[in-house]
Amino acid sequence: MNRNNNLNGDFGRFIGTSKVMQDIYNTISKLAPTDTPVFIEGESGTGKEICAQMIHTYSDRHDQPFIALNCAAFPKNLAESTLFGHVKGAFTDAHQAREGAIAKAQNGTLFLDEIGDMSLELQAKILRFCQDYSYSKLGSDTIHKANIRFICASNKNINRQIEQKLFREDLYYRLYNTPIVMPPLRRRQEDILDIAYYYLKYYADEQNKSIKNFSENAETILLNHNWPGNVRELQNTIRQIVSLEQTPLILASMLPKILTKNTAYNKKNLITEKDQISLPLWKIERNAIQAAINLTCGNIPKAAAMLDVAPSTIYRKIKLWKNE
């Protein structure tokens, strides 16, 4: 289930209608049309790269390249070349010329993820580049001009990095023009089920399975988990569940044990849910329909969309139940 979650409808790859995410959407809508550098902060798995992609998508540069680099993964001896490129023979093993990320991002956006892990030496070169957006490839004196927009992200506290002399303060003031703080999933609990149902449908479709819903107890466990890995952890959890199960309704007993061991989940409920597996198919169907109706606050068309059936099917089932 993926709700429309921007002021004007769908907001790209984001899922969630919580107040904190609506604030993020509003900020992106205001920043995207500008060329100001953006600095995205947040824990791992909160969607910092998606945020950067959305800024690019809604900018005037949307039809130009979006180049993403993970600064934590730079090979130390190739870091400068990765950014600025090199000419043939610039160093050992430079058997041919190479375009750097800056050249590839020309007229578009360069996203530097985990910039807090960038070496001080490379930070100095980035600072020099930011002065007039000119650079030379490694091994060359030819000056090139670049027209790019910087978006940076970090899961580290950059102010603490500055205090520890691990991040240049002057570069910080160049790039930290407009911050966006991506909230951890535990701060947007009302979005958890939206995200869970989105990925349930996504992976069920991908694996050609007819899994449609979580039981009420399963939903409670998903809502009560702390999700230290944030959206990425939730996504991987749903992928794991879909890979292992076949039933239309995901019960609490089918969830990974790590989700239940730290919750106040009652074992009696687990037994009750295990018994549901042996229910007749019509009862499982009824439970799934009722769960969808409850989840959508009684909105039959939305419940029908979630279950991939016509609303008339649900109305007909409800009428039959009332006549039982």
Residue 13: inside a domain, yes or no?
no
Q: What is the pLDDT of residue 50?
A: 95
> Residue 205 — pLDDT band, cuts 50, 70, 90?
very high
Cα–Cα distance list, 274 to 146, 239, 261 (Å): 61, 21, 17
Based on the fold, state whether residues 162 and 190 are members of the same structural domain. Answer: no
| Count of domains for the chain | 2
Same-domain status, 210 and 100: no
Q: What is the pLDDT of residues 67-105, one digit of tens each?
A: 999 998 887 778 888 899 888 876 777 778 888 999 999
Does residue 267 lie within any of the structural domains? yes
**4 pLDDT above the threshold of 50:** no
pLDDT bin (cut points 50, 70, 90) of residue 263 is: low
Distance CA 257, CA 155 (A): 28
Are residue 174 and residue 203 in the same domain, yes or no? no
State whether 191 and 309 are in the same domain: yes
Residues 100 and 168 in one domain: yes
Q: Has residue 18 got a pLDDT over 60?
A: yes
Q: Please say which residue of 148, 183, 218 terminates a domain.
A: 183
Q: Are residues 220 and 168 in the same domain?
A: no
Residue 8 domain-assigned (yes or no): no
**Can you give the pLDDT at residue 273?**
55
Q: What is the pLDDT of residues 183-195, one digit of tens each?
A: 999 999 999 999 9
Which tops the pLDDT comparison, 211 or 279?
A: 211
Helix ranges (DSSP H) in 247-280 = 257-260, 267-276
Q: Which of 183, 218, 235 is the last residue of a domain?
A: 183
pLDDT at 277 over 60: no
Least trusted range by pLDDT, from 12-21, 90-99, 264-273, 294-303 = 264-273
| Same domain (yes/no): 277, 156 | no
Please say which residue of 127, 158, 183 terminates a domain. Answer: 183
Confirm whether 105 is domain-assigned: yes
- Beta-carbon contacts of residue 154 (< 8 Å; ≥ 6 apart): 39, 40, 41, 114, 115, 116
Given pLDDT bands bounded at 50, 70 and 90, which one contains residue 274? Answer: low
* Residue 38 domain flag: yes
Q: Helices H, strands E: what count in the chain?
A: 15, 9
Do 150 and 279 share a domain, yes or no? no
Band of pLDDT at residue 276, cut at 50, 70 and 90: low
* Per-residue model confidence (pLDDT) at position 98: 85
pLDDT tens digits for range 31-56: 999 999 999 999 999 999 999 999 99
What is the value of pTM for the model shown? 0.76
- Radius of gyration of the chain from its Cα atoms, rounded to whole angstroms: 25
Considering the chain, what is the average pLDDT of its residues? 85
Q: 115 lies in which domain range?
A: 19-183
Do residue 223 and residue 113 come from a single domain? no
The predicted-structure confidence for 112-143, as pLDDT tens digits, reads as follows 999 999 999 999 999 999 999 999 988 888 99
pLDDT digits (tens, 9 = 90+) for 207-257: 999 998 998 889 989 998 999 999 999 999 999 999 999 888 998 888 998
Report the alpha-carbon distance of residue 309 to residue 284 in Å, rounded: 15
Q: Which of 153, 161, 137 is nearest to 37 (CA)?
A: 153
Asked if 139 contacts 91 with a C-beta cutoff of 8 angstroms, the reply is: yes
Inside any domain, residue 157? yes
Sign of CA dihedral 178, 183, 187, 191: positive
Averaged over 286-296, what is the pLDDT?
Answer: 77
Same domain, 149 and 239: no
Does residue 283 belong to any structural domain of this protein? Answer: yes
- pLDDT of 6 strictly over 80: no
- Residue type (1 letter), 73: A
